[in-house]
Structure 1
Amino acid sequence: MNRPATEAVRLLPWTGAEGKPCYLIGDGRGYVSRVADNVESVQLGMAADLLGHVEDLLSDRSATPEQLRYVVARLAESLREVHRVARSRGARLAMDPGDVS
C-alpha cells in the first residue's frame, strides 16, 4: 500500500501496549496530531516544573535519600518523555527542511 507523498510518519508522545512506540501517519493537521501537540506541551511544561522542584530539593540539606530517589525516578520518566518529543520533532524537521515553523 503506497501512501501519498504529503503524508508523514510521526512518533507520538505516548507509548502503546508493552511500552511500544506509537506512530501516526498523516499530514499533521488532524485531531490526533492536535492531541499529540497538546500532550507534548504538557510533558515539556511538567519537565520544567520538575527541574524547579529538583533545584529546590538539591539545595535542601535535609532532603532524605528516599526523597532523592523519588525525584531521580521522576527525572528519568520526564527525560524519557522529553527525549521522545525531541526525536519526534527532529524527525519531522528532517522530512520537511523547508518548513521553519
Structure 2
Amino acid sequence: MADDLFKALADPTRRRILDELVERDGQTLFEICTRLIAKHGLGSTRQAISQHLAVLEAAGLVRTRRQGRYKFHDLNTAPLEVIVTRWLEPRTPEDTP
C-alpha cells in the first residue's frame, strides 16, 4: 500500500489534482480538467487525467461515487494519515533494534 501511495504522490499532476480536490471535493472529470487548465495551465487530455485519477484511486487517495450519469471524485486522506503516523508515533526502547 505504501508503495502505491508514494508512486501516486510522486507525480506533480496527481498532486495538483489532489490540491483541487482539497479546495472543492466531489468534482467530475470535466470539472477537474477545467480547473487544471484554468489555474495551472495544464493542458492534459481528459483521458490522461482519468488515468491519473485511476492511480490516485488505486492508492486509496481518491474515492469515486456515481450519481445518475455523473461520476464524482472525493479526496480520502486516510492513507496519508497512516503514512504520517507510521514514522511519528513515539517508540519505546524495546522497539529499537
Q: TM-score range by the shorter chain?
A: 0.3 to 0.5
Structure number, greater radius of gyration? 1
Q: TM-score when scaled to structure 1?
A: 0.33
Q: TM-score when scaled to structure 2?
A: 0.34
